[in-house]
């Protein structure tokens, strides 16, 4: 059955506490209010607007319009609104969809952000500048009900992990490196699973994923002792037939980010893993002294670590980013990975996902 997001949350709430202790005793996920007005600043480079394009492509139903500063040329093909008009049309949040130099909010943006807050829109940012530091922005929220939401700031009072098993099913994305498609794999699988009648939700663990899903926790900003607890909050107890599709972060083979990956893996307690890999990549990006592992080595380490909190964890598929390959080379890489690991291999943006879904469901 294809449940609405509201029905899925009701089923999750009904399941939580049925013979189990809830693992999350804190506010948990950052919750965003939809629909969105996407703010594009004066950006002219599409590469600097990946968040906006990602939202348009993966959360189209939540994106009502766009707004730009003078000189901006990025066009998402959405209606152009000013904040007041957007609020009148039912928009709830203005989302900063571009990354300015240094990831910091330029001072001249403050007029637009203040106008949006005065119109009652939440301001949502994944940038490094705290929204409360923008001149006039806190004052503009007074009496309007607008919130300032820094999605990279985790909720207060996150719990440490309990390690207790909980109801529902989970499939986690893991990778041989960073930035090779874990988020896109999770989004594509969640969408396809729902299309197959599976009760499934994408669970966001990074800033762009949170904006797409409307909820989540940026686990790389969580104090280390509470990463696994945050993962329990992201994916708490659910109905027995519900699947959470969990966005991966980092890599166990990354010299800087392996700790985030391990905490997320332990707290997620996945029933199934999907290993994500770029077949053209030989070394960790920006770390040339660290060669990437072979697929079997990666599988074995991820399963060993996952089985610390879920002894039944299994590998269900391998997702390859074949964007740099022509069709023949892509098919060869997929066939080779499938032979090596004995599970379905796919490219979430290039190939059908039916066999991968069957393998995840077991």
Taking only the tens of pLDDT, the chain with its 362 residues reads 344 444 444 444 444 443 334 446 444 678 899 999 999 999 999 989 989 999 999 999 999 999 999 999 999 999 999 999 999 999 999 999 999 988 899 999 999 999 999 999 999 999 989 999 999 999 999 989 999 999 999 988 899 999 999 999 999 999 999 999 999 999 999 999 999 999 999 999 999 999 999 999 999 999 999 999 999 999 999 999 999 999 999 999 999 999 999 999 999 999 999 999 999 999 999 999 999 999 999 999 999 999 999 999 999 999 999 999 999 999 999 999 999 999 999 999 999 999 999 999 99
> What confidence score (pLDDT) does residue 24 get?
64
Q: Are 20 and 166 in contact (CB under 8 A)?
A: yes
Helix (H, G, I), strand (E, B) or coil at 32: coil
Pair type for strands 287-291 and 283-284:
antiparallel
> What confidence score (pLDDT) does residue 102 get?
85
How far is Cα 179 from Cα 173, in angstroms, rounded to an integer? 12
Which alpha helices (H) appear in the chain, and where do they start and end? Answer: 5-15, 50-58, 83-88, 110-118, 137-141, 182-195, 207-213, 227-234, 258-268, 295-306, 327-341, 354-361
Q: Are 213 and 257 in contact (CB under 8 A)?
A: no
| The pair of three-digit structure tokens given for residue 309, joined into one six-digit string | 């909190």
How far is Cα 169 from Cα 245, in angstroms, rounded to an integer? 9
CATH 3.40.50.300 fits 162-361, yes or no: yes
How far is Cα 80 from Cα 69, in angstroms, rounded to an integer? 11
Cα–Cα nearest to 34, from 236, 246, 215: 215
Helix (H, G, I), strand (E, B) or coil at 16: coil
The CATH 3.40.50.720 portion of the chain extends over 34-146
> What confidence score (pLDDT) does residue 156 get?
86
pTM score of the predicted model:
0.88
Q: Are 34 and 64 in contact (CB under 8 A)?
A: no
| The pair of three-digit structure tokens given for residue 123, joined into one six-digit string | 């301001």
CATH 3.40.640.10 fits 34-146, yes or no: no
The CATH 3.40.50.300 portion of the chain extends over 162-361
């Amino acid at each position: 059955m294809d449940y609405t997001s509201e029905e899925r949350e009701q089923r999750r709430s009904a399941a939580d506490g049925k013979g189990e202790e809830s693992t999350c005793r804190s506010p948990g996920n950052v919750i965003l209010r939809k629909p969105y007005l996407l703010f594009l600043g004066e950006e002219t480079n599409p590469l600097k607007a990946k968040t906006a394009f990602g939202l348009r492509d993966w959360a189209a139903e939540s994106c009502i319009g766009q707004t730009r500063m003078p000189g901006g040329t990025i066009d998402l093909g959405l209606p152009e609104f000013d904040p007041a008009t957007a609020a009148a049309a039912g928009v709830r949040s203005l989302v900063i969809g571009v990354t300015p130099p240094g990831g910091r909010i330029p001072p001249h943006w403050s007029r637009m952000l203040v106008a949006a807050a005065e119109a009652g829109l939440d301001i949502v940012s994944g940038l490094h500048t705290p929204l409360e530091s923008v001149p006039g922005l806190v004052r503009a929220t007074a009496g309007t009900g607008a919130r300032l939401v820094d999605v990279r700031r985790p909720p207060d009072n996150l719990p440490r992990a309990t390690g207790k098993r909980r109801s529902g099913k989970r499939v986690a994305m893991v990778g041989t490196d960073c930035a090779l498609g874990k988020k896109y794999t999770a989004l594509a699988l969640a969408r396809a699973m729902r299309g197959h009648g599976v009760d499934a939700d994408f669970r966001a663990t990074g800033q762009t994923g949170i904006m797409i899903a409307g909820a989540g926790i940026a686990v790389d900003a969580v104090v280390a002792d509470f990463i696994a607890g945050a993962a329990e909050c992201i994916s708490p107890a659910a109905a027995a037939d519900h699947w959470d599709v969990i966005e991966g972060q980092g890599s166990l083979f990354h010299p800087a980010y392996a700790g985030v990956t391990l905490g997320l893996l332990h707290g997620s307690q996945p029933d199934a893993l999907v290993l994500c890999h770029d077949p053209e990549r030989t070394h960790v990006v920006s770390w040339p002294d660290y060669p990437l592992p072979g697929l079997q080595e990666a599988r074995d380490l991820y399963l060993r670590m996952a089985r610390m909190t879920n002894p039944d964890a299994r590998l269900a598929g391998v997702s390859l980013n074949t964007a740099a390959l022509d069709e023949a080379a892509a098919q060869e890489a997929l066939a080779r990975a499938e032979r090596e690991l004995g599970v379905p291999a796919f490219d979430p943006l290039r190939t059908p996902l039916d066999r991968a879904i069957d393998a995840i469901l077991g």
